[in-house]
């Protein structure tokens, strides 16, 4: 299979074009199978379907839009190259997020003066959409976003995957490459910390 791919467009974090909902739309696995055969139209459809959510996930990790855009290009190029290796052990979107997280952290490791730790990541300004997107224009939503941004990075990523990407504990474990019990523990403490922050800010936590 050729490794020459289509030039991928730059991503805007405000792009909210809905994914195709037609009953005849190809499945993710179907698109990957076509990509494995060198179908560039399948790559474009795959990119259009997934790039917004993956971009926002990477942006939350890096806190830098330009670097996030570069990572997104690498993620989909890797998806193109590795399409034939996908074994179906997890959802395609989970597999894609695992690639994205790996590449985002590789970028963090190349930042010589910015060590990767939870306190540092927790201070990164988050301009991306949060799980409370339907309330984004209200003061309540702004408070929720600030509380989410105050969580340690690993806890914030888990909350993001569970509530925004609607991933199960098993799927989050695949993305992180850690045991399911570790995910459960981190999610428990993330929700506990977030509940405290929300309560202190005067916001209920019914959505948790």
pLDDT in tens, 108-157: 888 765 454 444 444 444 444 444 444 344 567 677 778 888 888 888 88
Most distant pair of Cα atoms in the chain: their distance: 56
Half-sphere exposure of 44 (CA within 13 A, CB side): 6
Domain ranges, ordered by start, for the chain: 9-116, 118-208
Question: Among the residues of the chain, which ranges form H helices?
Answer: 28-36, 40-62, 65-82, 92-109, 118-122, 139-149, 153-159, 169-176, 180-200
What average pLDDT does the structure give for the chain?
79
112 DSSP 8-state letter: T
Classify the C-alpha dihedral 36-39-43-48 as positive or negative: negative
pLDDT at residue 35 is higher than 80: yes
Fold exhibited by the domain 9-116: Rna Polymerase Sigma Factor; Chain: A (1.10.1740)
Q: Write down the pTM of the prediction.
A: 0.65
Question: Measured between alpha carbons, how far is 5 from 27 in angstroms, rounded to an integer?
Answer: 21
Q: For residues 169 and 179, what is the distance between their CA atoms, to the nearest angstrom?
A: 9
Per mean pLDDT, which range of 94-98, 156-160, 178-182, 202-206 is the poorest?
Answer: 202-206
CATH fold, domain 118-208, is Arc Repressor Mutant, subunit A (1.10.10)
């Amino acid at each position: 299979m050729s490794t020459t791919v289509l030039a991928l467009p730059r991503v805007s974090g405000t792009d909210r074009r809905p994914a195709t909902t037609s009953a005849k739309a190809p499945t993710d696995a179907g698109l990957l199978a076509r990509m494995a055969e060198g179908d560039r139209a399948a790559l474009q459809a795959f990119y259009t379907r997934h790039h917004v959510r993956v971009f926002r996930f990477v942006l939350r990790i890096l806190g830098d839009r330009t670097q996030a855009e570069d990572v997104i290009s690498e993620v989909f190029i890797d998806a193109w190259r590795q399409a034939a290796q996908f074994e179906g052990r997890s959802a395609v979107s989970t597999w894609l997020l695992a690639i994205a997280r790996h590449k985002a952290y590789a970028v963090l490791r190349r930042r010589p003066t910015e060590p990767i730790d939870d306190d540092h990541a927790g201070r990164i300004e988050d301009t991306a959409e949060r799980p409370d997107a339907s309330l984004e224009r209200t003061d309540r939503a702004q408070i929720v976003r600030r509380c989410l941004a105050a969580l340690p990075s690993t806890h914030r990523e888990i909350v993001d995957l569970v509530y925004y990407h609607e991933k199960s504990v098993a799927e989050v474990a695949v993305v992180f490459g850690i045991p399911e019990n570790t995910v459960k523990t981190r999610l428990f403490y993330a929700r506990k910390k977030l509940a405290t922050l929300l309560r202190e800010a005067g916001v209920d936590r019914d959505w948790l």
